Amino acid sequence: MTKKFVRGITYLPLILLAGVICFPMLFAATGVFMQQWELEDYLAPVLAGADGMASWPLLPHAPTLRSLVELLLDSPQFFVMFWNSLKISLCILIGQTVFGVPAAWGLARFEFPGKQAVLLLYIVLMLMPFQVLMLPQYLVLDRFRLLDTHAAVILPAVFSTFPVFIMYRFFCGIPEAILEAARIDGAGHLQIFFRIGIPLGAAGIVSSGILGFLESWNMIEQPMTFLKTKSLWPLSLFLPEIGLAEVGLGFAAAFMMLVPALLLFLSGQEYLEQGIAAAALKE
């Protein structure tokens, strides 16, 4: 009893905290089913400069699917951006896999001069925010005449250091004995990489893939900077286009944007946890 009580006491702040953390989710979920006028009433103090404070009910007064229907049936622009986002994200994911996995394998499994320096450079680059890299990237992309194309967003992300670093950690975790055994069995470098390295480092690859997808799905500065043509814009730029008059549409869009990320997260949750743990276990 006392034990239960103590546990209850312990859970209470946690539940409250979880509630606070979950509130934006609730916010987004209820907003989808609200009428436009209701949303305007609640958000006017924030978005339209009306007096008072913004408020938010737990349940909508007049639940409706109008915003969702409007988004799905009357807003072809949304879908243009949705598919743009998906395209960018998948390309980045594939690129990262194609280039990042061998890079991480090489760094983890081969000894060569300057290896430590390269690793250090990777870490430094990984820590650098986009704002720092923006100008050099822009100049390079301009030189390559890649500006205002999806490649301008995709290519820099493909060669991002973060997934390499995460996968490096996983590949490092593969015991040397297994590789020795493979070599003894007559496996070459490629055979070891494909038959031993990738399966054993799959968790790292998946988690880096999920993290990379989420990052590219939510990417906002790069398309804003490098894409001028509106038809190339990803979904992350849809919301800034929306004002108070279309706030319902905004909620619906946000909701729809959440769905792929959520599905991906749920399917890769296990690997993701491992990956995050792996990243945390730095040398």
Partner 1 sequence: MKNGKLVRITAIFFALMLCFTILSRAADQLSVAVVKTERPQNQMIEHVVKASGRVVQNQELAVTTLPDQRVTAIYVREGQRVAKGDLLFEVDTTLLEEKILDQQQEMEKQELLVKDAKSQKEVSAQQRANSQAQAAEQYSLSTRQAGVQLSRAKQQLDEAKKKLKKFRKSAESGKSSGSEKKDSEVEDALLQALQEKTDAYVAAQGELRALEWEIENAVYMAKQDAMAGTTAGTTSGMTAGAVQGATSGTGSGDAAEATLTMEEKTFTGSAEDVDEAGTSTDTGEGAEVTPQEVDEGDAEIVPETVCEDETFADDAIVDSISALPGDEIDLDLEIESVSSESTDEQGMGDGSTGDLGVNVSGGIDLGGNDGEETDTDAGIGNVADSDLDVSGSPVGSDLNANIKDAGDLYAGELIVDDVQDAVLPRMPTPEELTQIEQTVRANYSGQLAEAQQKLSDAQAEKEAAEAALVKYQQEQLAADNSENAQTAQQLAEAVKAAQQLYEDAALAANEAAVTSGRAVATANIADPSNSSDRMNEITYEQMELTLEKLEGLKKAKGKVCAEADGLITKINVMTGEKTLDTTALLMADLSKGYRFTADITKEQQKYIGTGDLVSLSSGDGKQKLEELPVESVAADESDENIYHVTVQLPEDSFAIGATVNLDFSRKSEAYSVTVPLSALHLDSKQQPYVLVAEEYDSIMGTEQRARRMNVTVLEQNERYAALAEGAIGSETEIIVQSDKAVDDGSRVRVET
Binding region for partner 1 (CB under 8 A): 72-83, 86, 229-231, 233, 238, 241, 256, 259-260, 263-264, 266-267
d(CA 55, CA 62): 16
Find the shortest distance in angstroms from Cβ 83 to partner 1.
7
- List the structure tokens of 26: 């609730």
d(CA 188, CA 180): 11
Closest to partner 1 by CB, 12 or 72: 72
Calculate ∠ Cα 219-225-228, nearest 5°. Answer: 110
Write out the E strands in the chain.
none
Closest to partner 1 by CB, 20 or 73: 73
Find the shortest distance in angstroms from Cβ 78 to partner 1.
7
Find the shortest distance in angstroms from Cβ 73 to partner 1.
5
Distant-in-sequence, close-in-space partners of 235: CB < 8 Å, separation ≥ 6: 78, 81, 82, 84, 85, 253, 257
d(CA 211, CA 33): 30
Find the shortest distance in angstroms from Cβ 255 to partner 1.
12
Calculate ∠ Cα 222-204-217, nearest 5°. Answer: 25
Find the shortest distance in angstroms from Cβ 185 to partner 1.
31
Closest to partner 1 by CB, 10 or 269: 269
d(CA 83, CA 233): 10
Closest to partner 1 by CB, 104 or 272: 272
Closest to partner 1 by CB, 172 or 261: 261
